[in-house]
Structures are given as C-alpha cells and as structure tokens.
C-alpha cells in the first residue's frame, strides 16, 4: 500500500461531500425505499405485538432519511403505539441533518428520538459498562458494517440486544456488485485502515450461517452514474473516485499505474455497463433480516 494515500474517512468534510454526491448519482436510496415499501411491512408485522412501547435502534443512521421511512411502516402497523429510538451516529454533521429532517417532518409525535454521538464500538462499550438491559424490537444497520473492527463480534453483540420477536436489518453492498469486484482485486493496494473493511452482504450471510442465526436475504438492484470519473480534472468525478476507492484525493495521491488500472476496471463488465452513452456502475445491495433467538 502506498504511504502517500490516506483513507477518505480521515477527512470528514470531503467524505460527507463525496457521500452526498454518491447518493445524488446513484439509486442507493431509491432501491432501499423500494425494499421498505414492498418488504418491510412483512418484516415488522409482529415485532410490536402486545407491547406498550416499541424500541428501535439505528446504528450509523446518517441523516435519517431511511430511518423516517422505516418508522412510517412501523407506525402504519402499530398506529398510536409510542416508539423510542436510540440513534448511534458518530458524525455531528449527520446528527444535525437528522434533527433538521425530524423538525420538518409531520406525524412523528409518537416517536422519542435519542441521539448518541458514538461509533458502534463506543456504544457497545457503554452498554457493557452500564450493564444496560434495554432490548430492541427492531435494529437496523444500513451501510455501516464496513466501519467496525470486528464484524463477527459486532453482529453477535447487536443480535444479543434483540427482544423476543425482534428483527435486525442489515443492508450492505451485494457480493455480486462492482464494489465486490474492486475490493477483491485492489483492497490490498488501497488505504485500508482501522476505519474501513471491505465486507459484502455475502460475507455477512456466511458469518450468520456459521453461527446458526436464522436470516433471510433480499437482493436490491441499484446503479450509479460514474461517467464524470473519466473526465480529466472534473471535480465531481474526483469526488466519486474518492468514494469508490475510499481514498482521499485519489486522483492526486494514487500511483499513476494504480489509477490507470482502476480506471480501466471501472469501465469493465465486472464493475459497470454502458447505458445511453453513460458508464453505469453496479451498485447492487443486499438486505439481510436476522431474527432474534
């Protein structure tokens, strides 16, 4: 790994900027919304039965856009039942955006929001130190398991927080996505550090199978327009390349031969396809629903 390269996560403002551009150029949230509309009502159909309050835990919830859609399905199934949600999110910018979103969204009177500015590992440490016995009826970990040091231990911990009939929702990139292709080929040459793991939903499903955890997987087709990545000097293209490689200022800091290899592979059928003259990256996701017990 070249020492000149550093993780995109080492520059929070650039990370947030590149992440927002990624969301703009991809169908990431749309495919999650489709899953929430078509599948989530069935997932949450029994988790609040007989309960006076529904406890929800969001881990790495970002700005809350997906969270609020999840809450709408729980509220539709259990109208009038109070919801208490703990939101574990380390970024103060994202927490602020989440709070602003809540302030502008009607129909949330029955939901009590508790924001916890911590990483998932810091939250885990707090729960264990306090010997907290709080259990959650629904836990969601959306696009965040890349950022933990020990994925199997993290899965075991959060599964232990599920109440009877509780469900854990995990969404990650699919094992058949362009991300998987990139990571398998270049992971050892990119600035992997304690803050980022190249893990796919296929890896998670294998971990759950090895532990005998009952779960079900759903494929979520998604794509991303990366045409700007191939325009020399294009700022948006540079930010998207940063996001794809998890590298801060990849164009500037990557060795020329590595940059050329990745650029060529991003155009290849293992990562992308051409539609209407645009280069479209395979951003497929998978949703995994884990049951308590």
CA–CA gap between residue 219 and residue 262 (Å, rounded): 26
Q: Could you tell me which of 193, 140, 143 has the C-alpha nearest to residue 162? A: 140
User: What are the residues whose beta carbons fall under 8 Å from the beta carbon of 165, sequence distance 6 or more?
Assistant: 46, 47, 49, 137, 292
CA–CA gap between residue 134 and residue 160 (Å, rounded): 10
pLDDT of residue 1: 45
User: What are the residues whose beta carbons fall under 8 Å from the beta carbon of 40, sequence distance 6 or more?
Assistant: 70, 73
Work out the pLDDT band at 12, boundaries 50, 70, 90. Answer: confident
- Coil, helix or strand for 221? coil
Q: Could you tell me which of 15, 17, 32, 25 has the C-alpha nearest to residue 224? A: 25
CA–CA gap between residue 25 and residue 21 (Å, rounded): 6
254, 7 contact by CB (below 8 A): no
- Coil, helix or strand for 62? coil
CA–CA gap between residue 238 and residue 249 (Å, rounded): 7
| Paired tokens of 207 | 């971990």
Residue 146 above 50 pLDDT?
yes
Tens-place pLDDT, residues 22-79: 999 999 989 999 999 999 999 999 999 999 999 999 999 999 999 999 999 999 999 9
Question: Does this model's pTM top 0.75?
Answer: yes
pLDDT of residue 225: 98
């Amino acid at each position: 790994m070249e020492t000149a390269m550093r993780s995109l996560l080492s520059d929070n403002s650039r990370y947030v900027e590149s992440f927002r551009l990624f969301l703009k150029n991809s169908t990431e949230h749309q495919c999650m919304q489709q899953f929430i509309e078509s599948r989530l009502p069935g997932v949450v159909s029994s988790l609040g039965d007989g309960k006076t309050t529904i406890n929800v835990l969001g881990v790495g919830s970002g700005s809350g856009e997906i969270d609020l859609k999840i809450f709408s399905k729980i509220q539709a199934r259990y109208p009038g039942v109070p919801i208490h949600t703990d939101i574990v999110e380390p970024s103060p910018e994202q927490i602020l955006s989440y709070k602003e979103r809540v302030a502008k969204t009607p129909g949330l009177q029955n939901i009590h929001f508790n924001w916890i500015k911590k990483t998932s590992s810091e939250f885990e440490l707090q729960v264990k130190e306090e010997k907290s016995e709080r259990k959650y009826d629904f836990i969601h970990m959306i696009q965040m398991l890349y950022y933990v040091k020990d994925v199997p231990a993290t899965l075991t911990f959060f599964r232990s927080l599920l109440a009877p009939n509780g469900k854990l929702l995990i969404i990650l990139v699919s094992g058949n996505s362009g991300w998987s292709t990139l990571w398998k080929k270049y992971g050892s040459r990119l600035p992997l550090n304690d803050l980022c793991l190249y893990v796919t939903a296929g890896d998670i499903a294998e971990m759950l199978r090895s532990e005998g955890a009952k779960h079900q997987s759903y494929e979520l087709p998604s794509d991303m327009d990366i045409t700007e990545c191939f325009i020399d000097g294009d700022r948006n293209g540079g930010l998207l390349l940063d996001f794809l490689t998890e590298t801060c200022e990849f164009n500037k800091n990557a060795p020329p031969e590595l940059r050329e290899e990745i650029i060529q592979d991003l155009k290849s059928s293992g990562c992308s396809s051409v539609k209407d003259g645009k280069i479209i990256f395979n951003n497929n996701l998978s949703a995994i629903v884990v049951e308590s017990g």
